[in-house]
Structure 1
Amino acid sequence: MKRVIEMTIDKVAKKAKARTIIVKLLSTAGTGFFYTTRRPRTTAKLSFMKFDPRANQNVLFNEAKINRPN
């Protein structure tokens, strides 16, 4: 029975990659504050002027890599 289950799992099609990805927008003020947002996978990296509450001013936020544990 176990052998039959293993064979059927191997033949299942893999899922396609998502069209959008979740990205982290990290403050350039060096405060460590960040926003998360979604963007299409095919577009260029994001950068926004947004409010950083730790610096108490609008600063540039650049896209950074999200560190996810495996």
Structure 2
Amino acid sequence: MAKKAKGNRVQVILECTEHKESGMPGTSRYITTKNRKNTTARMELKKYNPILKRVTIHKEIK
């Protein structure tokens, strides 16, 4: 029997860039999925950061 092919959807972790630069303790991270074929570049989304209490840019980490 042939092996089952891996799907195109992968789980990625988004981390706040502004929080990391500020040097404050803690991190703001979100887990989401992306399609490997359609989105080959790293994701960058605006998400709410509960520590800074505002919407900030979250980038994909690996």
Q: Paired residue for 1:47?
A: 44
SS at match of 1:14: coil
- Once superposed, which parts of structure 1, at least 4 consecutive aligned residues long, lie more than 2 Å away? none
Tell me by how many angstroms 1:45 deviates: 1.5
In the alignment, structure 1 segments of 5+ residues that lack a partner are: 1-11, 66-70
Larger radius of gyration: 1
Tell me by how many angstroms 1:22 deviates: 0.6
Q: Paired residue for 2:31?
A: 36
Q: Paired residue for 1:8?
A: none
In the alignment, structure 2 segments of 5+ residues that lack a partner are: 21-25
Normalising by structure 2, what TM-score? Answer: 0.75
Question: What's the % identity of the aligned pairs?
Answer: 31
Count of residues in correspondence between the two structures? 54
Higher share of residues assigned strand: 2
Normalising by structure 1, what TM-score? Answer: 0.68
Write the distance in 2 (CA, Å) between the matches of 1:53 and 1:59.
10
